[in-house]
Structure 1
């Protein structure tokens, strides 16, 4: 079986946020549970684009966590191929590229 990663999405009061790859499911659960038990607290996460988000969580806050498994292409870590259709280099042979690749 190929490589895969888990992608986490957080929905807070009906608004969904794709989270960054370093967010951990167990840590999110712990932060949410701690805030709800304390009658209010902050949940700090990083969105997929790097934006830092902070939510004030209370017992009345509706939060859903969803996890999806994404298969990765073996060529690159993000699952996209470095060469292929739409690639700037796909029309050239190795010795035929009209510029130097650094």
Structure 2
């Protein structure tokens, strides 16, 4: 798929967390395996929304890493701030950015 992204979710002992867009499957696998082989260690991830999470992993910790491909939808992607959209204020100066307008 050309216009899609991969979304990674990690489930630790039955609780799922959607991860940030920069989390990689290979890195998560490596961290998890390293912690389990050491009989204990931390799995550090960034959740969607920016929260940093750290899980202590042992040989008895249940971890599932899932990856899904999500299509990008043009209506939800970043848009040009100079394009008028219904319901969005456009009475700001050219140097302003959208979150300056309330």
TM-score, normalised via structure 1 length: 0.76
Q: Please, what is the CA RMSD of the aligned residues?
A: 2.4
- Structure 1 position 2, deviation (Å): 3.6
Query: What is the distance in 2 between the residues matched to 1:69 and 1:7?
Result: 6
Partner of 2:100 in structure 1?
Answer: none
Could you tell me which runs of 5 or more consecutive residues in structure 1 were left unpaired when the two chains were aligned. Answer: 90-96
Partner of 1:32 in structure 2?
Answer: 32
Could you tell me which runs of 5 or more consecutive residues in structure 2 were left unpaired when the two chains were aligned. Answer: 80-84, 95-102
Relative to 1, partners in 2 of residues 1:98 and 1:63: Cα closer, same or farther, differing over 3 Å? closer
Preserved CA contact (<8 Å) 1:43 1:54: yes
Partner of 1:88 in structure 2?
Answer: 87
Query: What is the distance in 1 between the residues matched to 2:56 and 2:90?
Result: 55
Q: Determine which structure has more spread, i.e. the larger CA radius of gyration.
A: 1
- Structure 1 position 98, deviation (Å): 7.8
Query: What is the distance in 2 between the residues matched to 1:9 and 1:30?
Result: 16
Query: What is the distance in 2 between the residues matched to 1:29 and 1:87?
Result: 44
